[in-house]
Structure 1
């Protein structure tokens, strides 16, 4: 018996009927759906649960035009009741289009120009990450909800198989007349037997009762399957760091509640800096210096990309570097991988956090090679050069941001090469004597007085101490501070080396 409209506001009965009819008519569709869901749950999204839930929250906030708030609550199991992970968020509420997207593998609800420009998610398939921990996920909003159940999905699929075998389901594609049993090999019953009862449960949504908690618009409820799922959920929740708020600017707040206590992270922007306030760090604010570039994409760059990606003709690149109390860069404590915009498995050796709209391969783990990736590598290098050129205060510490020549992978190597090509003419090296105190240097292109040196004009005096270099720098303004002779970064940049005797002869 199908649910009424009041009990099933999102039309899940219609969605189930369409899927089950397709499986019965063409069992190969069942196999395709099962393989696709399994690939997503065990492959590209196997450990992306928290990231994907946060990404959906950021997208919902962007669509509603409100600051995103995201709350994770991990409730321990009691007696026979399993542990539960609850994820609540503000933003655009759950609707019928969203339900269909969640239940349609590789189909996205983000199709309008506004949606695709603001949203972070690519294909609407990230929700499959919930299957890593739960067999009974549910999503509830202000006006109803939807749930899934592996046990009920198995029974629904079995009923469809029995109906097919008894001849009550028509299968014109196989030539079997309506009312006649389908005895052809490869029927739905055979597919179910091969998979030992595993069915693609997200394809069979069911109506759910309830409402989102006060202060939020949508809640995802995940009863955790077993101890292994509980352990994975705890580990992923504990791994949340600054990167999540940096990669998802639509989120302003993340609250994490576990049996150990409540942790709150907030994001705020202050000019060139993003501040992350993490209560777990004792109230200290993490300051990140950022630079962001973005723009439209030429259609030719998307020619080899899937249709869903061609609906998003925009690119964006952001670099973020944590700074200390003096404004000097420090090494990021986040995972040293490329973020596109959420984390991939692509290693990144450049000493900064890269967030870019890179196209990904089918496994969603690495950027896909091609003209779009090549284009974004160049734009990322432009942005990185700007980051160093605008860095304040100018100090020796900025040398730490120079990447070495050897990459950790093909993409990292391409990024390093493109960055180093640009840095040669970027003024970011601190001189031994402030340029304002000597003859002064003026940028040839902008006419603006510079306070830093470009690598091609800078020199390091060999074998001289601080006092000697400072005296020499009063006459030779291109000298770098003493003690930098062994810095590999300066060799990589091609900074000149000047013997002490030659420096004295120039005076």
Structure 2
């Protein structure tokens, strides 16, 4: 093939002939022979055959190989030339209007790809320097030329159509190519604006956004192209996410980066992110080197939501892909190499703004939530939004268990219990102290004040100094408690609560020596059957029983003896001693009429 255009070339195989050396015939390197092809005019098919003949040659010797273009011109060197796709792909004319060099279809040989040419896939076309430059300059007053191979520069409208077509054909998703956010698109008033500053009319974000916060993209354009290509160009169809890695939590450095489009890993785009960073830093000791958020996933543009559209906005945020940004904590790497988890930026922002029932959600109780927390929190109407995990992320209290699972939850609960302006019943206190008693004492800060109940029945709970309170750990001691403030709790958790709050137990504080003359009786067999193996074999009955100088119905002394002066007292003492306190009324019924044994046994089927 080269001999056709270089007639002085001798046939291959003669290069080692001694006669040629004698005649001093010049040797032409292949690279030089290729360079001599510059400016040669041949049909595209001829070039294809030439490439075929050179298919086995070292590619480094063919870098200057001419390539005929679809525009009719010829380019020197295949690098950055686009090869038409077998199934068509983007039209060569459209690519040429974007300033791209496209090989003539009849000359598109596989050798060219080995030499640096690129198949003209939509994604490959989009990421060429020419297209990126065209997009970046699409709002400039001076027309962009980009080295076009054809006359007629694409105006912004034509450029938008070309780029959107490539985006659609490439199947791009929002955020895949963030620089597309600089593409000039017409807004609702016909004015050009960067795609990243426009919203999709009728889209999810437009439905919750403040009026006039951002302009909408032209309705006809939106109808023609649909949400996906426009969102891939940065038009906001829904909320946008920021995903940043290894973010240094230095409030002074968390500023938006300079540029024509928002980058998806730019934490500086988040509203008040510097304040969030300061709140995070307040949790840790000061260090010369600031902590680092290993991965920060957050929802941006929360400040653009209209006040009356938060129910709809929260419903959006509760669904993927935004849910994780709201509910998942952020891992923070400390300078000493340890890690801690902190509240996500999104949850932090929402907690501090009136997004639920017109109020800040942190510290509210979901209406219809845990009755144990009633009175301790203001209730908020969360009807239609009952996602418990999201409500917890917002700081809305739903259950006592969820509250105590949160860092600082126990301290918050104890603090509210110590607030005399908040109403709480004795039954609530019993449930709350029982829940607190299951916690690790190392994780609970000791309170200065506690909510307690008086020993006398019917008394309202009141706030006392923590050093004055006692855990009510035995029912037979209540008549002896006097005016001591008591902390009600499930019996098996009494010791744990005393340890948790560092308070005394009533059994340790009350002198309760038994006085009076009593008679020992065997416990009836029916009662032993009912109460189980821990039932005492005997009890001591009194005409009049005193403990600590106070007349009482019964007393269970540390030696295990049950002392009682009434049938109800015997029943209570035996049930308490056997660890079957709820059975005391059945025991009383058996003591009064042992013929009811079978009846009561049958009733226990339904326990």
Q: Under TM normalisation by the shorter chain, which class is it?
A: under 0.3
Higher Cα Rg, which structure: 2
Instruction: From the two aligned structures, give the one with the greater strand fraction.
Output: 1
Q: Which has the higher contact order (CA 8 A, sep 6+)?
A: 1
**Normalized against structure 2, the TM-score is what?**
0.21
